[in-house]
Structure 1
Amino acid sequence: MKKIALTTLALLAISGCNDSDKKKSDSVANNYTGIWDAPAYGELIEINSDSSLNIYRYTPDICWIEDSLSSVDIKTLETKIRFYDSTNFIERFDDYGTSDFHAPGTVFEKQEQLPYICQSDNLIDLVNLELEPLQTFDIIKNIYRHHYVDFNLKNINFDQLADSIRINLSDNSSQEDVAIALYQILSPLEDIHNSITLDNITLSSKNKPLYTDIIRQEFATTTGLPFSFEEDELTETQLGNYKQHASNRINKYLEGISYFEPEDKPVQVVAGGLISWFINEGIGYINIGAMFGYGETNEEQLESINKIMQDFIEANVNSSAVIIDVRTNFGGHDFISLAIAQYFTDSEMHVYSKQARLDNGFTELTDVILEPLETETYFNGPVYVLTSASTVSGAEVFALTMSALPNVTTVGELSQGAFSDVLDWEFSEEIKISIANERYVTPAGDWYEGLGVPVDIYVPFFEFIPDSVDEPIDPAIAAVIADLTN
């Protein structure tokens, strides 16, 4: 199995203008020239000898050029791709971190020629594409059929389901009819990473309700509204009552945390409120609200999160334990999750493996190896990671990573169960889809898609805490304290 070490992924260094450097640049340019294919992602990169570049998207049935550049230089190219294992493979990493630190990217293998479906006579013209309703349904259905991670997760016969829904459509159907039909094939998959956008209507379904859904359902139940109500459908009074209910519920949750906050020291709030932390009774607590939003570029985000974590770890050098709260973290970038996790190990660890759906199987597993920091800035005492059903995507990758470390205990609820990166397909501004096409598995081979990361100590999240409770400390924090004192 291929392995990616996440600390020293160096690209080929090409700079300068003397003759030897020029020859090296030409040599590398010749190596990059060619057809590069990532069939599990339905993507091709064509780099031509004249430095032009085309990006294709394809299924076995259709192919189109998604983007083109008339000229690309090697220096720019190598901010996005690098050779992987040999000159027969490249890895595109720009969506996954920086050149020096990134999560597993998309790997492309060199091919002799474009597949038949992507040759010029067979390409579809997206600019002038006018799809009939049945064509739209069939194209999107087939992309899901070829790329969705595993229909057996929900015991779904996808072809049978799709055929039973398609018979209700015709070329006289409206786009709304098509959207509803597509939602009917997507909804049973119950994966937050699957979505369909038609004419600015985005449809998706979740595996478990988020805390925001719980708030909505509570309000709907007490007012007699349908669970699916939209805020713009409410009267001014109803909207005010709904916002007040949401505020009360969130404040009740925050009160449970604030009860544990120190009285003599301010809470540190950083990154525009995405992260807050404090130390009390020898225990460090940090709430991480997202795995994105820490800068304009990946480099800025990595620099920012490293500075925040260094400050937190240095402040906790004498702490007996650390609590990391990601219960309301809807996710973001895996590389942010991995960057944070590095601060809690002093040895190299295989934390998870990853692969993508390919035909009727999967690509080769890629092992993700978490390496210790080169500095002494790490905490290897007891660490408690708080999770819930509202711990989603990149935050789940963080929980999965941390659960592989020997000093970590997970507390709370199983996470959402939606680990995969999102595979996006865009036909136009009006037609877009997203698909979960990847498996994230533990070093032991366990796959938690649709289930969520297991917890060592189960504590329900976002339940009402009676006002009569004298010490309404957050139940998960209370469970941590109890575990430490046992």
Structure 2
Amino acid sequence: MKPGQRQNHSLSAPAFENLQGVWRSQGYGKILLIEHDRYTLFEETAISCRKLYTGSLEELNHYYEDLVVSPGGQAFSAHRVSGVARISFRRLKALPANAAEARRHDPKDPEYNFEIFWRTFHEQYALFELKGVAWDQAYETYRPQINANSSRETLFATMAAMLRPLKDGHIRLHTPSSHYSAGAQPALYQRLTRELEDANDDRELTSYLGDLKEWLHDVIHEDYLGNGVSHGGNRLVEWGRLNDTTGYLHIRAMAGQSGKTGKPAADLSAIDGLMQRVLADIGELPNLVVDLRSNGGGYDGVALRFAAYLMDRKRLAFTKSARHGDGFTGKQPIHVAPASETYRGNLFVLTSELTASAAEIFVLSLLQHPRLTLIGEPTQGILSDTLERHLPNGWHLTLSNEIYRAYDGEVYEDVGIPPHIRLHYLGRKGREEGKDPMLERVLKLVGG
């Protein structure tokens, strides 16, 4: 998404108009050229510096907020509107020499694209050590397969083969004709695939999973909530009462509550009004179930805003650091502070392997809550933000360039956040009994 397409808000002070010059981000691989009436954003590797966007300074002020400039004017940092990270920039005397050289390369040259692809991961990917993948060795293995005459199909297949061992759901490679995701297949998919095979059922897995989710949705509405369900946030949030002591809150996604795509500030505003309604309806109950089992993520800021209405006091949610040079940027602490009105009872958060990305950040931010019980399956284990990068031939990709650490330093990337009580999501036994075993367990725990 182009920076100028983010949402509007009032201009920051100090503003980018006063920061003319060339700036390099600390981590994230970006060069920012600020002129008196416009900016140009470049993506940088050790062998390239390629222009990505040009836009007005007003657009830049919409993309970043809370600008802080160092006393000497040689550095600044700003909060990225779409996430929770504060990114630092340092002044350069001029654009890197690579910026001029980039124009001398044929953008369709397969070897040039391969080199930038490999470099991008070499310099930005945060999880090689965790994944046990030797990226230098991958270069030695695959570089000889690419030459000046390699087809686009060969280049794509080679890149996909290099990415496959990373098993990272935030790694995607997009071309006009093909898309590749490096995510590992959840055990749930394998379980459901076996069910289809055993039953000689020729339904597609995605169709079968959709049918099961719809079945569970109906069971919850009819048998557990008695159809007393309220909706809000562009129908991405619903809530009701399981009984006289226990409320139920289902959050389907961590974005889109405003009904506007790519507008996190509007989503945050929508959540404020929405959660006030939720608390007015079920906030006095001593127990609350928060269902995240099918929540695939969205914006970290949205996740933290939801958490703010459930947190008892200000607590460290997590720290995050980004790849930078041969190491990482410093650990940036992110806190969750309670909203003016918050839920004060016991929290039961339901998770599955489909609980991913920003939905995992929501869980991460609640781990210090004194009355929290996690029920279900470990989350998917893709917590890092996705860094989007572009290749000269017009392809683009995303990768994980950050490490999130829980309040106690634990890293849940790859393994997921484990539940306190482990139960299968959409398990066969529960379906045969026509029940939701996770809600059954909550009701047993609260004596309902």
- TM category (shorter chain) comes to 0.7 to 0.9
The counterpart of 2:61, out of the listed 52, 56, 77, is 77
Contact 2:264–2:301 (CA<8 Å) still a contact in 1? Answer: no
Percent of counterpart pairs with the same letter? 23
Partner of 2:213: 250
1:179 aligned partner, one-letter code: F
Q: Deviations over 1:409-458 (max 9, x none)?
A: 21111101001111111236841111111011012111111011121111
Residues 11 and 251 of structure 1: CA distance in aligned 2, closer, same or farther (over 3 Å) = closer
The counterpart of 2:236, out of the listed 240, 250, 274, is 274
Q: Which has the larger radius of gyration?
A: 1
Residue 312 of structure 2: SS of its match in structure 1? coil
Partner of 2:252: 289
Q: Distance in 2 between matches of 1:302 and 1:369?
A: 17
Is the counterpart of residue 478 in structure 1 residue 440 in structure 2? yes
Q: Matches of residues 260-409 of structure 1 in structure 2 within 5 Å?
A: 260-263=223-226, 266-281=228-243, 282-295=245-258, 296=260, 297-373=263-339, 375=340, 377-409=341-373
Q: Distance in 1 between matches of 2:214 and 2:119?
A: 45
Q: Deviations over 1:391-414 (max 9, x none)?
A: 110111111111232222211111
Structure 2 gap segments, 5+ residues each: 1-8
Is the counterpart of residue 426 in structure 1 residue 387 in structure 2? no
CA displacement at 1:165 relative to structure 2: 2.4
Residues 279 and 182 of structure 1: CA distance in aligned 2, closer, same or farther (over 3 Å) = same
The counterpart of 2:82, out of the listed 95, 105, 125, is 95
Calculate the TM-score normalised by the size of structure 1: 0.81
RMSD over equivalenced CA pairs, Å: 2.8
Residue 41 of structure 1: SS of its match in structure 2? coil
Q: Matches of residues 210-229 of structure 1 in structure 2 within 5 Å?
A: 215=192, 218-219=195-196, 222-223=199-200
Q: Distance in 2 between matches of 1:122 and 1:323?
A: 57
Partner of 2:5: none
Q: Distance in 2 between matches of 1:179 and 1:468?
A: 44
Contact 2:323–2:402 (CA<8 Å) still a contact in 1? Answer: yes
Is the counterpart of residue 416 in structure 1 residue 403 in structure 2? no
Q: Distance in 1 between matches of 2:299 and 2:65?
A: 18
Q: Matches of residues 157-172 of structure 1 in structure 2 within 5 Å?
A: 157-172=134-149
Contact 1:380–1:407 (CA<8 Å) still a contact in 2? Answer: no
Partner of 2:6: none
1:269 aligned partner, one-letter code: H
Q: Deviations over 1:142-184 (max 9, x none)?
A: 1111111121112111111232123333333221111111111
Q: Distance in 2 between matches of 1:30 and 1:248?
A: 53
Residue 465 of structure 1: SS of its match in structure 2? helix
Q: Distance in 2 between matches of 1:131 and 1:13?
A: 40
CA displacement at 1:482 relative to structure 2: 2.6
Is the counterpart of residue 106 in structure 1 residue 94 in structure 2? no
Q: Distance in 2 between matches of 1:143 and 1:79?
A: 23
Residues 53 and 416 of structure 1: CA distance in aligned 2, closer, same or farther (over 3 Å) = same
Aligned length: 433
Is the counterpart of residue 66 in structure 1 residue 52 in structure 2? yes
Residues 262 and 197 of structure 1: CA distance in aligned 2, closer, same or farther (over 3 Å) = closer
CA displacement at 1:198 relative to structure 2: 2.8
Q: Distance in 2 between matches of 1:66 and 1:359?
A: 21
Q: Distance in 2 between matches of 1:207 and 1:349?
A: 32
Residues 76 and 65 of structure 1: CA distance in aligned 2, closer, same or farther (over 3 Å) = closer
Q: Matches of residues 55-204 of structure 1 in structure 2 within 5 Å?
A: 55-69=41-55, 71-73=56-58, 77=61, 80-84=64-68, 86=70, 88-96=75-83, 103-118=84-99, 121-124=100-103, 129-204=106-181
1:298 aligned partner, one-letter code: P
Residues 280 and 423 of structure 1: CA distance in aligned 2, closer, same or farther (over 3 Å) = same
1:317 aligned partner, one-letter code: G
CA displacement at 1:208 relative to structure 2: 4.4
CA displacement at 1:35 relative to structure 2: 2.2
Residues 428 and 59 of structure 1: CA distance in aligned 2, closer, same or farther (over 3 Å) = closer
Q: Distance in 1 between matches of 2:153 and 2:135?
A: 21
Partner of 2:405: 441
Residues 303 and 466 of structure 1: CA distance in aligned 2, closer, same or farther (over 3 Å) = closer
Residue 319 of structure 2: SS of its match in structure 1? strand
Residue 336 of structure 1: SS of its match in structure 2? helix
Structure 1 gap segments, 5+ residues each: 1-9, 15-24, 97-102, 225-237
Partner of 1:230: none
CA displacement at 1:279 relative to structure 2: 0.9
